[in-house]
Amino acid sequence: MKRSRGFTLIEAVLATSLLAVGMALAFGILRGATKATARAETASQRQERLRAVQGFLRTQVTAALPIGFEFDGDTGEATFFRVAPRKLELVASMPGYLSRGGPYLQSFELVDGPGGEQLVFQDRMLAPDGPLPAERPPLVLLDGIAEASFDAQTLDAQGHPAGWGGWTQPAQLPPLVRLRVRFSDDRRWPEFVAGTRLGTGVTPGTLGLGKQ
């Protein structure tokens, strides 16, 4: 009766080495696939957040109301809407789950953050005597911004479009508002342009609150 021949030490070492190499390759492929999946999920979440922020900003700009939140002490002229390169201020209703009803003074402001500029949102309920203290801390909508700016479509003396710039005209809403953003990591922000629903035909004093 013949004896079965076993593996030699060299064959066993070679087989073990091949198995180790195969497992290392398999784990490397798995780790790479996991990282790729995580990067894809992170990118998807970022894009979803960008869409959500644009949607919220568009909703609030579109719903801007001709309600004064600041009044000139000499002329009594009301400020309904204000646009500066780093800050946008308007009056509009807040989503029901975030408010107690009524108009809110809302601001979207670009501030310095740890990883670049941030777009920060703040809301304050508007009472007959002016804005009340904020009920919650500012909310960071976007971060990692390399550069950004707000501007509005301005109007000439005849009410015709006259280019883009700041908006400080009393008792008027701008026809269009724009926000341009460039992120530090080259994320894409489609140029944001939104129109105010009541941006035309608004007369001084319409729905005015506060001291005249």
Residue 94, CA atoms < 13 Å, CB-side half-sphere: 18
Q: Which residue has the tokens 């030490």?
A: 9
pTM above the 0.85 mark?
Answer: no
DSSP alpha helix (H) spans, 63-126: none
Domain ranges of the chain: 51-195
Instruction: Please give the Cα distance from 22 to 24 (Å, whole number).
Output: 5
Give the mean pLDDT of 166-175.
91
Choose between 4 and 123: higher pLDDT: 123
Output the pLDDT for position 128: 87
pLDDT band of 12, cuts 50, 70, 90: confident
Instruction: Please give the Cα distance from 141 to 124 (Å, whole number).
Output: 17
Give the mean pLDDT of 97-121.
89
- DSSP secondary structure letter of residue 115: T
pLDDT band of 74, cuts 50, 70, 90: confident
Quick: pLDDT tens for 132-150: 999 899 999 999 999 999 9
pLDDT band of 4, cuts 50, 70, 90: low
Does residue 6 register a pLDDT over 90? no
Does residue 58 register a pLDDT over 80? yes
Does residue 171 register a pLDDT over 70? yes
Output the pLDDT for position 5: 61
DSSP for 3-31 reads PPP---HHHHHHHHHHHHHHHHHHHHHHH
Give the mean pLDDT of 11-19.
77
pLDDT band of 211, cuts 50, 70, 90: very low
